[in-house]
Structure 1
Amino acid sequence: MTTVSLQHLKGKASIEAGYMTLYGEYGKRYNNRALNIPGYGWVPCSRKLQMNFTTSPDELMLVISEPDDEYIPVTSEIWVTRTNVVRIL
């Protein structure tokens, strides 16, 4: 699994919110919240992001599955989620 911070997009490009249809293992369809991320296209949002939604690049990161990962989700190999970095001031 590879993670990519989206902080580099701050002030350069906007992230558009919308929805996309994901397909499960047996063809079941899921209507899922998604973000249109410059350079990556429409990327489905994780449950964590859907529960606490934002489009701020400072608070987002991509999670991309690798071919040798033990678990690869059926519905998508790339997801956008909230960053797990906590800033303490």
Structure 2
Amino acid sequence: MRLDKYLKVSRIIKRRTVANEACDAGRVEVNGKPARASYDVKIGDKIKVSLGQNERTYEVLEVCEHALKEDALKMYKTL
């Protein structure tokens, strides 16, 4: 799954266009390297998102195309 879509489906970022713009601006890193929106997310990846003053790191636990609000929290773990 593409990184921008993963960020939206997991509800880390609310809109896919915002996720895409954050990737283009270099505010999203995967495993310590800046990642493009087209990066293919895999289980075990560590995603670091920097938006404004907030900087958070997540570990990918599950990759699924669709997720309900309750299931979205099971897709990642906050580090």
The two structures have a TM-score, normalised by structure 2, of 0.27
Larger Rg: 1
* Structure number having the greater strand percentage: 1
The two structures have a TM-score, normalised by structure 1, of 0.25
